[in-house]
Amino acid sequence: MSDGQLLHGVPVVEATGQVVAHPTVDQWLDTVAALKADGFCMAIDVTAVDYSAHPGRTDLPEGVTPERFEVVAAFIDHAGGRRVRLRAQVPEADPVVPSLFDLFPGTEAMEREAWDLVGVAFDGHPDHTRILMPEDWEGHPLRRDVAIGRIPVQFKDAPAAR
C-alpha cells in the first residue's frame, strides 16, 4: 500500500515500512472493526500523545488536520505477518474517542493509562479510573502544560537535600 491510498475509506501513508492509517474519531471504531475482520487479531498498543509543543506537524496526509491530541493504536495479523498503525487526531475541546474494549479486551489497561497520563477519554470503557496516578491526583501529568518537577523525588538512602 502506498501513500495517498485509502484503507477502509481512511487515508494511508507508509512510515518506516509500516502502513499507517489516519481515521477520524468518527471512523475510529469502524476502522478497527474492519481491520479485525481483515485478520488483525491483536491490538499490541494503544496510547495518546500531546502534540501541543509541535503545532506545525507536517507528517500527516493531505486532508488530515493536526489536533493537540492524537490516539495511536497498533495492530498485528499473526497469520499474514502484517502490522498496521492507526493515528486519530483528537481535538482539545473534546478529547474523547470510542473505546476498543469490546473489540479487543486487552486494550483495557492501555486505554486507562492513556486517559490517566494524557487525559484522552475512551467512551464506553468499562473502568475509566486511574491506573498509575493516585486517585486524588488532579490533571494528567504527560500533558505539555503540566509543570515539570511538581513532586520532589527522594531516593532511598540518598543524602537529604541541604
What are 73-132's pLDDT values in tens digits?
A: 999 999 999 999 999 999 999 999 999 999 999 999 999 999 999 999 999 999 988 999
132 found inside a domain:
no
Over 60: is that where the pLDDT of 59 sits? yes
In a domain, 115, yes or no: yes
Does 16 have pLDDT greater than 90? no
- Asked whether residue 158 carries a pLDDT value surpassing 70, the answer given is no
Question: Counting beta carbons within 10 angstroms of the beta carbon of residue 82, is it exposed (0 to 12), middle (13 to 18) or buried (19 or more)?
Answer: middle
The pLDDT value recorded for residue 53 is 86
Domain of 69?
Answer: 6-123
Average pLDDT over residues 5-16: 92
Q: CA angle 47-60-123, nearest 5°?
A: 35
**Start-to-end Cα distance in the chain:** 60
Q: How many domains does the chain have?
A: 1
Distance in angstroms (rounded) separating the CA atoms of residues 154 and 162: 13
Q: How far apart are CA 147 and CA 141, in angstroms?
A: 8
For residue 71, tell me if it sits in a domain.
Answer: yes
d(CA 115, CA 56): 24
pTM of model > 0.95: no
Q: Are strands 42-50 and 69-77 parallel, antiparallel or unpaired?
A: antiparallel
Mean pLDDT rounded to a whole number for the chain: 90
pLDDT by residue (tens digit) across 135-154? 888 889 998 887 665 566 66
Residue 138 lies in a domain: no
pLDDT at residue number 55: 74
Residue, of 25 and 58, whose pLDDT is higher: 25
Strand runs labelled E in 55-131: 69-77, 82-90, 96-98, 121-123
Give a yes or no: residue 116 inside a domain: yes
Mean pLDDT of 58-84: 94
Q: Give the CATH number, domain containing residue 53.
A: 3.30.460.80
Q: For residue 14, is it within any domain?
A: yes
pLDDT, position 3: 64
Dihedral angle of Cα 50, 74, 87, 107, to the nearest 10 degrees: -60
> Is 27 inside any structural domain?
yes
To which residue does cell 495479523 refer?
Answer: 77
Q: Is residue 143 part of a domain?
A: no
The pLDDT of residue 150: 57
Whether 63 has a pLDDT exceeding 80, the answer reads yes
